[in-house]
Amino acid sequence: SIGKRPPQSQRGGNITMNHHLHAMLLIALASYLPHPSSCAPLLPRLPLLSQSPRSSALQLASARPVAKINKKGAGGLSQISGPEPGIVACTGSALFLALGGALGCAPRVFAGLTTALVISGPIQILDIAIMENASGKRKMVDGLKAGTEKLIHCPVTFLKSQETALVYCLFGATYATANICKALATPLAATLAATTVANMGACFYKDAELARICGQGPRREFPKLGFANLAARDMLSMGSTFTIPPVLAAVFQSAGMQAKIAADAAQIMCPVIGQTIQVPFHLTALSLYNHPNWTLSERIESLKELYVPTLLARMARALPCYGAGGVLNTNLQSACLSLAGGR
């Protein structure tokens, strides 16, 4: 029945494959830690995954549960106001893997977290460029150029950066939650609610920190009304990513399109088109942080000026995020399930 793992006799050798999937991802995520060598004593213990996915994941999660907060200077990643993003990325991933192991859908969780790892780098470039443009710190074209050059010339440093870890936290939580819901065959409304909750929590953390990094002037708390705008944006985003595509794919199939082509087309189109109504909420949230004393008319003028370039950038961002990323996630789930024999 749903929510119960199959008995040992039915799983056969699949446990070993699931544990190898866990080990691969946890080792990769260890590179996000500020001092990766601190994880070295843990790596020989990864075979302890034979005990249970839950206990072994929690072993790694508890390795460095608390990060020191560096309050020196102004701006930059030394000013992260909560736990370091690398710590959050590793701990959150370990807990999702533990949950997936407990529910018998670890391959799906692994697929979601791996998708997040793949797409985080390109998305980080776009996120930083959009936020710096909104704050007036740097033009979007200049930001895109700088981020791309850093990715090309220093790819390892770029992908291990705390900015990339912030982006990974968001998409790891979102995809892992969506895949768990799929494994449990939850209704569309429940899937939307679960993915929205997971996405909002991680996105609030990511956007608030990036806004502080990319903003100008003294660092300050992200406004509550700004969080409300981010929440509205994320509800629309989750609807256009996980709820509407299956419905639109069914429409395409009824018109004679092949099932896989219909599913891929709907998954790519919906998140991109959805940006047209999400961008105003995104820009308003950033405006409330960057310019707390602006009048309503000033915010409207700024929205008019920034809407088109931000829309184009976020449409481009939606392709790896939930368009191509969604297709990759689906294909990875199929591959992992065929290897592990899980659901």
CA–CA separation, 253 and 244 (whole Å): 14
- Under DSSP, the state recorded for 186 is -
Higher pLDDT, 228 or 48: 228
Q: What is the dihedral of CA 194, 161, 325, 65, to 10 degrees?
A: -30
Confidence grade of residue 4 (pLDDT, cut at 50, 70, 90):
very low
For 11-31, what is the mean pLDDT? 45
- Under DSSP, the state recorded for 32 is G
| Mean of all residue pLDDT scores within the chain | 79
Mind listing the pLDDT tens digit for each residue in 168-195? 999 999 899 999 999 998 887 888 788 8
Side-chain half-sphere of 81: how many Cα atoms within 13 Å?
A: 16
Per-residue pLDDT at 43 exceeds 50: no
Percentage of the residues of the chain whose pLDDT score is greater than 90: 45
Closest by Cα among 44, 105, 90, 282 to 290:
282
Per-residue pLDDT at 31 exceeds 70: no
Side-chain half-sphere of 333: how many Cα atoms within 13 Å?
A: 21
Write down the pLDDT at residue 131: 94
Per-residue pLDDT at 21 exceeds 60: no
CB 209 within 8 A of CB 132: no
CA–CA separation, 9 and 13 (whole Å): 9
- Under DSSP, the state recorded for 81 is S
Task: Spell out the residues 6+ positions from residue 80 whose beta carbon is closer than 8 angstroms to its own.
Answer: 67, 69, 70, 162, 209
CB 47 within 8 A of CB 28: no
Write down the pLDDT at residue 83: 64
CA–CA separation, 283 and 260 (whole Å): 35
CA angle 316, 207, 155 (to 5 degrees): 60
Using DSSP, state whether 34 is helix, strand or coil. coil
pTM for the full predicted model = 0.71
- Under DSSP, the state recorded for 71 is -
Burial class (CB in 10 A: 0-12, 13-18, 19+), 247: exposed
Mind listing the pLDDT tens digit for each residue in 59-113? 444 443 333 334 333 333 434 455 677 788 888 888 898 888 888 899 999 999 9
Higher pLDDT, 268 or 302: 302
Write down the pLDDT at residue 54: 43
